[in-house]
Copies of this chain bind each other. A is one copy, B any other.
Amino acid sequence: MVSREPVAPGLGEAAAEEEQDELSRRCGDFMAQPVSGLRELRSRRQDMRSRMEMLIMETQSQVCRALAHVDRGAAFTVDRWERKEGGGGISCVLQDGNIFEKAGVNVSVVFGHLSEEAAQQMRSRGKTLKTKNGKLPFCAMGVSSVIHPKNPHVPTIHFNYRYFEIENADGTKQWWFGGGTDLTPTYLNEEDAVHFHKTLKEACDQHNPELYPKYKKWCDDYFYIKHRGERRGIGGIFFDDLDSPSKEEAFQFVQSCAKAIVPCYIPIVKKHSHDPFTPEEKLWQQLRRGRYVEFNLVYDRGTKFGLATPGSRIESILMSLPLTARWQYMHTPPEKSREAEILEVLRNPKDWVH
Closest to A297 in B: B297
Instruction: For A226, list chain B residues within 8 Å (CB).
Output: 307
A327-B95 Cα distance, complex, nearest whole Å: 11
A297-B293, A297-B294, A307-B298 are known contacts. Are A326 and B324 too (CB-CB below 8 A)? yes
Binds B, one of A179-187, A315-323, A345-353: A315-323
Which residues of chain A from 83 to 101 have any CB-CB distance to chain B below 8 Å in the complex? 91, 93, 95
| Most chain B CB within a 10 A radius of its CB, from A93, A227, A322 | A227
Contact with A328, one of B91, B308, B323 (Cβ below 8 angstroms)? B323
**Looking at chain A, what size class is its interface with the partner chain?**
20 to 34
A330-B314 Cα distance, complex, nearest whole Å: 10
Closest to A148 in B: B327
Contact with A324, one of B93, B228, B325 (Cβ below 8 angstroms)? B325
A290-B91 Cα distance, complex, nearest whole Å: 21
A227-B307, A293-B293, A307-B227 are known contacts. Are A315 and B329 too (CB-CB below 8 A)? yes
Instruction: For A314, list chain B residues within 8 Å (CB).
Output: 227-228
Task: Count identical subunits in the complex.
Answer: 2
Check A321 against B104 for contact (C-beta < 8 Å). no
A226-B328 Cα distance, complex, nearest whole Å: 27
Instruction: For A95, list chain B residues within 8 Å (CB).
Output: 328-329
Instruction: For A324, list chain B residues within 8 Å (CB).
Output: 286, 324-326
Tell me how far the C-beta of A97 lies from the nearest C-beta in chain B, rounded to whole angstroms: 13
A297-B294, A298-B297, A307-B298 are known contacts. Are A322 and B315 too (CB-CB below 8 A)? no
Instruction: For A328, list chain B residues within 8 Å (CB).
Output: 95, 323
Asked whether any CB of chain B lies closer than 8 Å to the CB of A102, the reply is yes
Instruction: For A47, list chain B residues within 8 Å (CB).
Output: none
Asked whether any CB of chain B lies closer than 8 Å to the CB of A79, the reply is yes
Tell me how far the C-beta of A314 lies from the nearest C-beta in chain B, rounded to whole angstroms: 5
| Most chain B CB within a 10 A radius of its CB, from A315, A321, A325 | A325
Please give 7 more A-B residue pairs, beta carbons under 8 A apart, in addition to A297-B297, A324-B326: A95-B329, A102-B329, A226-B307, A294-B297, A319-B329, A324-B324, A325-B325
7 A-B residue pairs with Cβ-Cβ distance under 8 Å, sorted by A, are: A93-B329, A104-B329, A293-B325, A297-B298, A321-B327, A323-B327, A325-B327
